[in-house]
Structure 1
Amino acid sequence: MKSYKEIRQWLYLETQGIHKGDVYFNIVYVLAILNGTPESIAFKSVETMALSMSRLKKEIKKAGTLIKTVPVNNIEFIKNANGETIDKHSAGIVDEGVEIISSTNLLNLLQFENKKRKRNQTKQNYPYQYITFGEIERKSDGNVFLSLLRTQYDIKGYGYPNGLLEKPSEPITPPSLNVLREKAKLIAQDDDQIIKIGPNEIAFGLRTNRPKHAELYLSPSLHDQLYNYYLSGQKYDLSNRKKSIDEIVKSTPKVTDYTIHNNLTDTWDMSSDDIAAMNNKLKRDVKNIAAQAKKIIKSVSDSEVHSKHELIEAQRRLASIRSLVKKAKEQNQIDSSIADQIDHLSNQY
């Protein structure tokens, strides 16, 4: 019998032992709660804490909060009508197990965070405005830039999983920040695609957990290029597909294979040069077809990767819309029924 039962997504009830009846929160849900995030994404477009997963774990340690790791085979996950586990991401963490925090520990963590002193910024004019984790806007022209760390998060699939917490990607060899930095410099087309910004240049408002050092920020187009480069090269395993095509090219038969096999060499009114020319033409034609096939494979794969990325971005924007509508509703700036309709239409579930 399993010791934990999922009572709703990311919430678990302990069903055995001395702590029977205790409720636990999946750590990604804890991150969503601290960042003030809708449940459908792990980071919000406008949040108050700006915590990444790694920084969350540091905060948990500072607060003296305990993380409990539970093997996935010890959890009875909720299943859909087809008998499939809904939270495939959590159920797929086979080696490490699911990290959870008890409701008591979560309360301690929230109290620890609430006691933090708000950091007021005394400067009046900042060239950049903080938007969300790893994302800033340049006030002079409205251009958005994403930090190198945020780009790495997106490539790894840690940044904005969908409602089922399924990672959009799982590269075999995720790039380190150093590798990503060098690759960004290599493919950048102009100086404005990579900028270095210090925390004293960004208007954070009352947000806590700000960066302490200057960071590299990339333009959205460069961010997309890096995202597509790493995912199309690994997620879709293009090398194997191209290898298969190359093997077909190598195995293409020659005209002489048929003539010799069927004893037609002497009956054909063709010289050896003519046969050699036919062989070369056949070889060229097959190579040209193979080259076109490879081109199509890469084009389709890049397009699909970009579409996935656009979907993730759309999910974040929908969350931002819901946040703005909620705020307008609370301040009586929008009709309540219209606000509810917008919230329903923009909901990702």
Structure 2
Amino acid sequence: MALERRAARLVAAGATMLAMGCSGKWTAQESGAAMAGGAGGSEGTAQGGDPGSAEACAAGEARCNASGLRETCTSDGAWSVSDFVCARSVAVDDEVGSTCVTKADGSYRCWGDDPGGALPAERYRRVQLARQGLIGLTEDGRLLAAGTVLPDGLPPASTFRATNMWDYTGVCPLFVDGSFAVVLDGTSFNRPLPPDEDAVRRMEGSFTQAFCVFEGLAVGVRSDGSLWQSHGTETPPGEFTEVAFSNRIFCALTKAGGIRCFEPNFACSRTGIVDCAGPEYPEFSGGPYRSITATDGAVCAIDAEGALTCRRYDGADMPIDAGRFTFIEGGNSVLCGVRTDGSAACFRHGGWSLDEVGQFVPAALDPGW
């Protein structure tokens, strides 16, 4: 039943996104003060030198400096600072495929239907437009939401992801101290939590990466490089740095920069679906790679130079000639990322089952984002 609900939702969401085309509907909310010195250390920002750096460069090259502003290389081989504020992160909702871009100055813009209100005026590290509305992580680690009920007293978070968890809206933060939790909104979907259920479910261990996936799955990389997953199937051994995960694929990035993909997970083992990962698994030669992510039909990775490679779950190539990236995130049928010049880019493939998944096509974002 869970997969049937998911398929129906994905068909409806896909039809909505196709009807919107590339123009989409951007939510009106933007927050954050004007750039005044900027916010360095952004997740997706390619960090360059100080503004006005005298470091030599190749004409036409572009990067983001430590203040979050784009620098371009002039014809005489010197860096010139512009007023373009670089993107910090892109958040893709893995249930409905909405997209949000957050910039280095804490402002954001989201693409998709927003059922809720505006977030408080703050400087944000990450904003996601989930089914219940906007959820944001402020620069000082607070989680704020419009439309989703969050408990008071959550510790500071370093990142989060929101999705449907057991038919509740789930917000899954990775806290600054390395702990990980699933936070459930018992008011969502008109189904209150049972009296003996906790709204905050903490997972054992210290994590460097952890997040949730549609239909109640959770996965993480522990501080020692081992993998953790919530769905009860065998966890592959090894030392890893990141995972790419959906209810149809499970791949992991090794500490050496290789990529390993494993047996079908939760959905396949419990429903008998045979096309979860197809007759073959994605294989990634080359590398070393430094980041991976997954949509409903593809696994994508960026290598040490920022080049993007995508493979369908059955191993078929999904070429994207899209430039160099510092950050990528996938969900639903959408892949988004932050380029080395600080611009955001998104792509969409059709279909959910393997015989329907097509090639990625660009999805235009508003100018400046």
The structure with the largest helix share of the pair is 1
TM range, normalised to the smaller chain?
Answer: under 0.3
TM-score, with normalisation over the residues of structure 1? 0.23
Q: Which has the larger radius of gyration?
A: 1
Higher RCO (CA < 8 A, seq sep 6+): 1
TM-score normalised to structure 2 length: 0.22
